[in-house]
Amino acid sequence: MKNSTKGVGIVAQKILLFCDPGIDDSLAIIYALLNPSIQLVGIVTSYGNVNQEQATQNVAYLLDLANRNNIVLIGGAKGPLSGEYTPFYPEIHGEEGLGPIRPPEKIQGELLNFDTVFKIIEQYGDDLLIVDVGRMTSLAIAFNLAGADILNTVKGFYLMGGAFLVPGNVTPGAEANFYGDPMAAKIVTASVDNGVVYPLNVTNKAIIPPNVIDKIIATNNNPFQPLMKAIFDYYFEAYKKLVPGIQGSPLHDVLTLFAITTPQAFKYVERKIFIGETDDALRGVSIADFRPKPQEEPAENQVAIALELDYQLFLDDFIKVMTSKLPIIE
Ligand code: RIB
Ligand code: CA
């Protein structure tokens, strides 16, 4: 297998993915496996939507369905840096993180040590993007262990988290990934040289309605489609209770991967991000200076924050990718 290609004649973007599956994480992994423009070179599994062991088993199950067990799994964090655990949300993601699905016991997934992260960074350098769609503990630990100079040799970082001047999803002001480990989110957003943050401002708009899922699974083109329907339906039932009148489910983590191949679907502003670390209503709350004349900040303190989305581009791409056959790996 050549490293640089996936599918016939397509040079795919290499991704090291940090995640905590979780339904939208799982759909993001499926999206990446089906997308000829994305090559997963490793997956770091961490606590977040479920515990770290369950997250690993869920990823191993998805890779097994795709016959892609060659993608390395790396053991990430089991809890937040502060030691202050926040709850899981089984009503949204299911007890085991895949809604009503329980992955087969026999599939557990073999974990490599955390230093594999640094080996992958060394191997791929600026051909690599790091994507984090979970609590940012593992990535913060990577920054602390290796230092920002080493981590920033990659091409860039795509981070799902935060809510800027819009309501949160776990508290009135905080989004789940930042809330789960605000200290880690602060380290990561302050350390990345070339980082883009995808907050609820855009991910809450990445709504996939149930009829789109029905249309996708009717094509019967890939091995994920029965699973896709079951986990989506579970997630949608939860969202209907959380957001009365909602027409579908927001796929936060899928949107963050979509951004890699379609950055033109977003409008960004460059700002320094502040994240509340106190254990009160400000925990995990993210703010940035959106005044007409913001306070000047050195460029190295700023990250790009996606604030607007071209929804139609996302919807069309989602349908195209999720109805694809698994790419042939050369
Ligand atoms: O706030 C959305 C994020 O939190 C997503 O990454 C989702 O998986 C949830 O845990
Ligand atoms: Ca997630």
- DSSP conformation letters of 111-137: EEPTTHHHHHHHHHGGGEEEEE-S-SH
Going residue by residue through the chain, which has 330 residues, state the pLDDT in tens, using 9 for 90 and above: 333 445 556 789 999 999 999 999 999 999 999 999 999 999 999 999 999 999 999 999 999 999 999 999 999 999 999 999 998 999 999 999 999 999 998 888 889 999 999 999 999 999 999 999 999 999 999 999 999 999 999 999 999 999 999 999 999 999 999 999 999 999 999 999 999 999 999 999 999 999 999 999 999 999 998 899 999 999 999 999 999 999 999 999 999 999 999 999 999 999 999 999 988 999 999 999 999 999 999 999 999 999 999 999 999 999 999 999 999 876
Instruction: Confirm or reject: Cβ of 169 under 6 Å from ligand 1.
Output: yes
Instruction: Confirm or reject: Cβ of 50 under 6 Å from ligand 1.
Output: no
- Tell me the C-alpha distance between 137 and 297, whole Å: 26
Q: What is the 3-state secondary structure (H, E, C) of 66-98?
A: CCCCCCEEEECCCCCCCCCCCCCCHHHHCCCCC
What per-residue confidence (pLDDT) applies to 80? 97
| CB-based burial, 190-222: b 16+ in 10 Å, e otherwise | bbbeebbbbbbbbbbebbbeeebbeebbeeeeb
What per-residue confidence (pLDDT) applies to 214? 97
Instruction: Confirm or reject: Cβ of 27 under 6 Å from ligand 1.
Output: no
Instruction: Confirm or reject: Cβ of 33 under 6 Å from ligand 1.
Output: no
How many A from CA of 177 to the centre of ligand 1? 6
- Say whether the peptide bond before residue 94 is cis (omega within 30 degrees of 0): no
pTM of the model: 0.96
Domains and CATH numbers, the chain: 3-329 (3.90.245.10)
Half-sphere exposure of 248 (CA within 13 A, CB side): 18
How many A from CA of 253 to the centre of ligand 2? 6
- Tell me the C-alpha distance between 59 and 64, whole Å: 8
Q: Whose CA is nearest to atom 9 of ligand 1?
A: 176
- Tell me the C-alpha distance between 263 and 250, whole Å: 19
Element (H, E) at 287: strand 286-287
Half-sphere exposure of 185 (CA within 13 A, CB side): 32
Half-sphere exposure of 314 (CA within 13 A, CB side): 26
Element (H, E) at 266: strand 266-271
Instruction: Confirm or reject: Cβ of 181 under 6 Å from ligand 1.
Output: no
Closest CA to 11 of 36, 40, 47: 36
- Tell me the C-alpha distance between 197 and 152, whole Å: 16
What per-residue confidence (pLDDT) applies to 107? 86
What per-residue confidence (pLDDT) applies to 6? 56
What per-residue confidence (pLDDT) applies to 4? 42
Place of tokens 């840096």: 81
Q: Relative to the CA of 133, which ligand 1 atom is closest?
A: 6
- Determine the straight-line distance between the first and last CA of the chain, rounded to whole angstroms: 5
Instruction: Confirm or reject: Cβ of 176 under 6 Å from ligand 1.
Output: yes
Q: Relative to the CA of 175, which ligand 1 atom is closest?
A: 1
- Residues 6 or more apart in contact with residue 24 via CB below 8 angstroms: 133, 235, 249, 250, 251, 252, 253, 254
